[in-house]
């Protein structure tokens, strides 16, 4: 879908493709691109969508990769808890999220 923005023509699919590509590089922006992708796949669908089946695979893959590299990162743990909640695994979500409650208090996660 094309959206005509201020002075820019933005294209969501192209943006997601660029972020995916950035996530697969070996640079310092790869985890940042992962965070942006995860917000698209976890945060935003949790407001609107009812069918998570097309978001969960990629979110799971990105989260696995990121948590393997940063096992204690609060952002990724909070997102993981949110993803477990979306999946319906409430005990796992509670277990994950209580560990990073201080971070969740000051963010949207």
**Interface with other proteins by CB under 8 A: which residues?**
1, 3-30, 32-33, 36-37, 40, 44, 53, 56-58, 60-62, 64-65, 68-69, 102, 105-108
Min CB(109)–other proteins separation in Å: 10
Closest CA to 97 of 82, 86, 55: 82
Which lies closer to other proteins via its Cβ, residue 16 or residue 73?
16
Q: Which two tokens stand for residue 71?
A: 């096992």
Min CB(94)–other proteins separation in Å: 20
Which lies closer to other proteins via its Cβ, residue 18 or residue 94?
18
* Contact status, residue 16 vs residue 54, Cβ threshold 8 Å: no
Residue 88 Rama label (left phi>0; alpha psi -120 to 50; beta):
left
Which lies closer to other proteins via its Cβ, residue 17 or residue 94?
17
C-alpha 98/C-alpha 95 separation (Å) is 6
């Amino acid at each position: 879908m094309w959206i005509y923005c201020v002075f820019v023509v933005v294209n969501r699919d192209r943006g997601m493709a660029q972020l995916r590509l950035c996530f697969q590089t070996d640079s310092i922006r790869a985890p940042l691109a992962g965070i942006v992708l995860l917000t698209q796949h976890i945060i935003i669908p949790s407001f609107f969508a009812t069918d998570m089946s097309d978001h969960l695979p990629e979110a799971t893959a990105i989260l696995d990769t990121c948590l393997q590299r940063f096992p204690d990162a609060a952002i990724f743990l909070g997102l993981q808890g949110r993803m477990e909640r979306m999946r319906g695994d409430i005990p796992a979500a509670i277990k994950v999220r209580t560990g990073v409650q201080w971070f969740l208090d000051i963010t949207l996660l």
